[in-house]
Amino acid sequence: MTLPAETIAQIAAELAEADRTHGVIPRITARFPEATVEDSYAIQGVWRDSQIDAGRKLVGRKIGLTSKAMQQATGITEPDFGVMFDDTVYESGAEIPVDHFSNVRIEVELAFVLKHPLEGPDCTLDDALAAIDYAVPALEVLNSHIELEGRTIVDTISDNAAYGAMVLGAVRKRPDEIDLRWVPGLLFKNGEIEETGVAAGVLNHPATGVAWLANKFHQHGARLEAGEIILAGSFTRPMWVSRGDEVLCDYGPMGTIECRFV
């Protein structure tokens, strides 16, 4: 790491305040161009621990920037990860308060729930599939507290990988019940189709991201635990939403998700 501990704590506090007020702060890399990826995960970790200390319960992890669509949309070419808390999980049909978020966008994803712990350093796709209990369709609500123009992977990771919330569908499938690579996503806003994709757009198999995350966690002396929800990354570009928008995503054999922003 290149940033001193007090600077890391300061930035984490700024992000916590931006989350509380639904505001946006200047780019970290504009103010601290020497900041590294290790610094950004340290900032995220200080913020995460402060949220847990405040009583929030961690329920899983999100993986981001795992598809060409998202890498091209953001200009960032390596995956990242963040944490998900219990108060950010919605079910299909939910009304979502748009004022709770900043720079609100929607992504089409699959989520996985683990039945066994998963640990690197040499975790493979087969290992991940064996550890997964089931897959479930999910929409991710992006929530960016750092100005978007010019941001880098350091800014995004620091900001909990831009995670805001997720909306889960009702259809659950074991990995041996369906070819997860071919799960489709047809994303509609107010009745008009906006984005399409298939889950293979995420690293050629959406569960590959789970294996990647287990190996990444090993570098930090940690593992993925049984019962955790892993949001595997979008296979469409992000779609902007505003108050009053109605969103529907059709996942074919895995059903649909609907939500409305109020």
Does residue 116 register a pLDDT over 70?
A: yes
Measured CA to CA, the distance from residue 225 to residue 213 in angstroms comes to 12
Q: In what order do the strands lie in the sheet with 94-96?
A: 94-96, 256-261, 246-250, 184-189, 192-198
Q: Out of 136-140, 164-168, 200-204, which region has the weakest mean confidence (pLDDT)?
A: 200-204
Structure tokens at 32: 């601290």
The chain-wide mean pLDDT, for the chain, equals 94
* Residue-wise pLDDT tens digits, 154-184: 999 999 999 999 999 999 999 999 999 999 9
The verdict on residue 16 lying in a domain is no
In order, the DSSP letters of 199-244 are GGGBTTSTTHHHHHHHHHHHHTT--B-TT-EEE---SS--EE--TT
- The confidence band for 13, taking pLDDT boundaries of 50, 70 and 90, is very high
The verdict on residue 49 lying in a domain is no
The verdict on residue 204 lying in a domain is yes
The verdict on residue 2 lying in a domain is no
Does residue 70 register a pLDDT over 80?
A: no
How many structural domains are present in the chain? 1
Q: Among candidates 141, 142, 154, 151, which has minimal Cα distance to 26?
A: 151
Q: Out of 11-20, 69-78, 178-187, which region has the weakest mean confidence (pLDDT)?
A: 69-78
Q: Out of 23-27, 62-66, 221-225, which region has the weakest mean confidence (pLDDT)?
A: 62-66
The verdict on residue 101 lying in a domain is yes
Report the percent of the chain where pLDDT is more than 70.
95
Q: pTM (2 decimals)? A: 0.94
- The confidence band for 137, taking pLDDT boundaries of 50, 70 and 90, is very high
Higher pLDDT pick, 79 / 252:
252
- Mean predicted confidence (pLDDT) in 72-92: 85
Long-range contacts of 187-191 (CB under 8 A, 24+ apart): 187/106, 187/108, 187/236, 187/239, 187/247, 187/248, 187/249, 188/247, 188/248, 188/249, 188/250, 189/239, 189/241, 189/245, 189/246, 189/247, 190/245, 190/246, 191/246
Supply the CATH number for residue 77's domain.
3.90.850.10
How many of the other CB atoms lie within 10 Å of CB of 99? 11
Domain range for 181: 58-261
Does residue 200 register a pLDDT over 90?
A: yes
The verdict on residue 110 lying in a domain is yes
The verdict on residue 138 lying in a domain is yes
